[in-house]
């Protein structure tokens, strides 16, 4: 039994290292003084300084933030309302169908969603721009918000809301005073998750972005396509820290 | 998936609640109808159209695009994608099972920490994680320079831009999808069952084969589906890590849409990909139903 435990422990730790080592290597080498070599040549901030001066990167960051914030606000509103609505539909057939249908974007391959949106915008003659990216991001984030908010709703005691109604509260009052305060951490957690996914999305953005609406991941992709460089390492390191921070915050909120 | 049935409100609230429910659901349902379901329908419709002289769409009703897909070149890419996805699923299972079993055996307090540790890389930008492997595997990368310094190789070996690199990237990218459902299944297993088997002199292999494997089956099936589906539609991994011949369906779709600008053919490809995914899902739900049925029978 003992040797079995040791074996499990070492494979467990080795697999965890496998998950983290590439990311750690990437971040460490973003501080490497040599441009070409994969050997450590001393510490430098140079690549970060170069990034800071890159105007196209500033534009991409601004675009990413605009898309992420607007699509997150829209998706959180739509997703929260739909989650509350589904909760109010008694275990009917309509609810099962709706549950499945509203979660479908999570299952469909992302590239499928990307090309479908591209064809749609071309067919209805909406020129590709930052707006089309926002419309698409909202669509894939609605189910994300719903999954998290509904998990939270299931933990709520329905009798609390019923008690509010019994005491003469209007639906709005019951929501504002009872449901919302209990739901808030879950909704904030869902919003942060949506924000992270939007900031990280490449494929849907790749198909729906027009000229001048380059986001950070699109910028990273075009940089990677023109070859490995320490600037990409530095930019990657920033993105890693950014998304890890957002996710940590989101998980902490969902636990509350 | 956990079923949830709760008639949460008393009948009088229900009747007024029904209209309120629909008015709450309809904005999201409307949004997804316009920006998800209608676009999917357009893909379906365009897959029967023809390509215009300068790209674009000429509306016809023909099966030419689907017949074109029978070309051996496309057949090879479809087959290769299925092979890549299957191999990556197997790889994730081989790496994920011991890890999930290790976490499931940890004291309850430490399990949560490990699960978060598994999730964190998953929430790191996929492009960035794939680029990390490019950085490590390329000819002047960390792997080759380390091996050269150790004197194990003289000239750099070609690892990046091979099928092996694609497989590695897929396993790396989707491993968390495998570990989480496996953990959920393994964690539920009553430890005394294993102890009883050990007391009856079952070998470790017998315990694995006769107890862990059957009891963890729902988790294994769920994990395999969760890994297989995104691997099948992968684009970034083969695009960045693969060679000219490591093309997968995702790359082919992108190529038809953005390079060749043959949207009808690209649509037919997307639609076949979606059918494969839906097929895999249907298989999953059938297995799940069967497993639940068995569970009730036992």
Q: What pLDDT, in 10s, does the model give residues A134-171?
A: 999 999 999 999 998 988 888 888 888 888 888 888 88
Beta strands in A19-173 (DSSP E): none
- Contacts with B231 (C-beta within 8 Å, 6 or more apart), sequence order: B84, B85, B88, B89, B170, B174
Q: What is the pLDDT of residue B199?
A: 82
Q: Does A110 touch chain B (CB under 8 A)?
A: yes
Judged by a CB distance cut-off of 8 A, whether residue A126 touches chain B is: no
Q: How far is A104 from chain B (nearest CA, A)?
A: 9
Q: What is the residue-averaged pLDDT of chain A?
A: 89
pLDDT tens sequence across B244-281: 888 999 999 999 999 988 999 999 999 999 989 888 88
- How near does any CA of chain A get to the CA of B151, in Å? 15
pLDDT tens figures, A113-143? 999 999 999 999 999 999 999 999 999 999 9
- CB-CB under 8 Å, A8 with B105: yes
pLDDT above 90 for B36: yes
Q: Does A147 touch chain B (CB under 8 A)?
A: no
CB contact under 8 A, B17 and A88: yes
Helix axes B72-105, A2-29, angle to 10 degrees: 120
pLDDT for A238-253, tens place per residue? 999 988 888 888 888 8
- Site from B39, B54, B120 to mutate, A interface, most A CB atoms within 10 angstroms: B39
Share of chain B above pLDDT 90, in %: 44
Task: Tell me how close the Cα of B266 comes to any Cα of chain A, in angstroms.
Answer: 8
Q: What is the pLDDT of residue B119?
A: 85
Average pLDDT over residues A212-216: 92
- Chain B residues with CB under 8 Å of A101 CB are 29, 32, 37
Dist. CA A143–CA A151, nearest whole Å: 12
Which chain A residues touch B149 with a CB distance below 8 Å? Answer: 39
Average pLDDT over residues B88-100: 95
Top residue of A4, A38, A167 to mutate, by most chain B CBs within 10 Å, is A38
B122 is written with which tokens? 């998953």
What is the distance between the alpha carbons of residues A133 and A118, in angstroms, rounded to a whole number?
A: 10
Confidence of residue B90 (pLDDT cuts 50, 70, 90): very high
Q: Count of alpha carbons within 13 Å of A163, Cβ hemisphere only?
A: 7
Contact status, residue A232 vs residue A171, Cβ threshold 8 Å: no
- Residue A206 token pair: 């790749």
- As a whole number, mean pLDDT of residues B42-62 equals 85
Contacts of A233 in chain B (CB under 8 A): 135
> What CA–CA distance (Å, rounded) separates A3 from B35?
55
A106 at B interface, C-beta within 8 A: no
Higher pLDDT, A217 or B194: A217
Q: Which of residues 160-189 of B touch A (CB under 8 A)?
A: 172, 175-176
CB B182 within 8 A of CB B97: yes
Q: Is A158–B9 a contact, with Cβ atoms under 8 angstroms apart? A: yes
Residue B147, helix vs strand vs coil: helix
Which of A8, A36, A107 has the CB atom closest to B281's CB atom? A107
> Which chain A residue has its CA at the smallest distance from B21's CA?
A85
Contact: B36, A158; criterion CB under 8 Å: no
């Amino acid at each position: 039994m003992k040797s079995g435990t040791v074996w499990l422990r070492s494979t467990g730790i080795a697999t965890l290292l496998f998950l983290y080592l590439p990311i750690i290597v990437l971040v460490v080498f973003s501080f490497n003084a040599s441009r070409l070599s994969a050997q450590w040549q001393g510490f430098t901030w140079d690549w970060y300084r170069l990034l800071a001066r890159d105007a196209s990167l500033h534009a991409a960051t601004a675009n990413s933030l605009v898309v992420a914030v607007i699509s997150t606000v829209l998706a959180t509103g739509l997703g929260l309302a739909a989650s509350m609505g589904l909760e109010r539909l008694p275990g009917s057939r309509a609810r099962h169908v709706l549950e499945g249908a509203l979660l479908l974007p999570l299952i469909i391959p992302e590239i499928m969603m990307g090309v479908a949106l591209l064809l749609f915008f071309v067919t209805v003659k909406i020129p590709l721009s930052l707006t089309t990216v926002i419309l698409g991001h909202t669509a894939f984030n609605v189910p994300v918000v719903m999954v998290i908010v509904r998990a939270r709703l299931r933990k709520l005691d329905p009798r609390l809301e019923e008690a509010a109604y019994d005491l003469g509260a209007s639906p709005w009052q019951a929501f504002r005073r009872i449901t919302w305060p209990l739901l808030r951490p879950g909704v904030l957690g869902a919003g942060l998750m949506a924000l992270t996914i939007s900031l990280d999305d490449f494929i849907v953005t790749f198909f729906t972005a027009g000229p001048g609406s380059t986001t950070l991941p699109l910028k990273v992709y075009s940089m990677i396509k023109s070859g490995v460089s320490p600037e990409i390492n530095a930019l990657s390191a920033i993105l890693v820290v950014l998304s890890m921070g957002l996710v940590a915050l989101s998980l902490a909120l969902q636990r509350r | 998936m956990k079923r949830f049935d709760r008639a949460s409100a008393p009948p009088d609230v229900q009747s007024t609640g029904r209209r309120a429910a629909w008015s709450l659901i309809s904005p999201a349902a409307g949004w997804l109808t316009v920006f998800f379901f209608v676009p999917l329908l357009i893909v379906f419709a365009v897959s029967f159209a023809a390509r215009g002289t300068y790209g674009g769409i000429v509306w016809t009703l023909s099966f030419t695009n689907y017949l074109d897909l029978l070309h051996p070149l496309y057949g090879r890419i479809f087959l290769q994608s299925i092979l890549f996805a299957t191999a990556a699923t197997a790889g994730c299972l081989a790496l994920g099972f011991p890890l999930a079993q290790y976490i499931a055996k940890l004291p309850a307090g430490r399990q949560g920490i490990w699960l978060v540790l598994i999730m964190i890389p998953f929430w790191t930008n996929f492009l960035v994680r794939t680029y990390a492997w490019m950085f490590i595997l390329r000819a002047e990368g960390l792997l080759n320079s380390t091996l050269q310094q150790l004197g194990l190789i003289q000239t750099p070996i070609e690892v990046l831009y091979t099928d092996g690199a694609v497989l590695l990237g897929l396993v790396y990218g989707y491993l968390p999808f495998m570990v989480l459902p496996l953990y959920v299944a393994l964690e539920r297993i009553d430890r005394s069952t294993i102890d009883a088997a050990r007391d009856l002199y079952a070998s470790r292999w017998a315990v694995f084969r006769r107890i862990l494997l059957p009891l963890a089956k729902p988790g294994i099936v769920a994990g395999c589906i969760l890994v297989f589906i995104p691997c099948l539609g992968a684009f970034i991994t083969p695009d960045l890590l693969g060679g000219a011949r490591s093309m997968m369906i995702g790359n082919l779709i992108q190529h038809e849409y953005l390079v060749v600008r043959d949207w009808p053919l690209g649509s037919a490809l997307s639609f076949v990909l979606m059918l494969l995914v839906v097929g895999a899902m249907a298989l999953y739900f059938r297995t799940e139903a069967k497993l639940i049925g068995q569970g009730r029978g036992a």
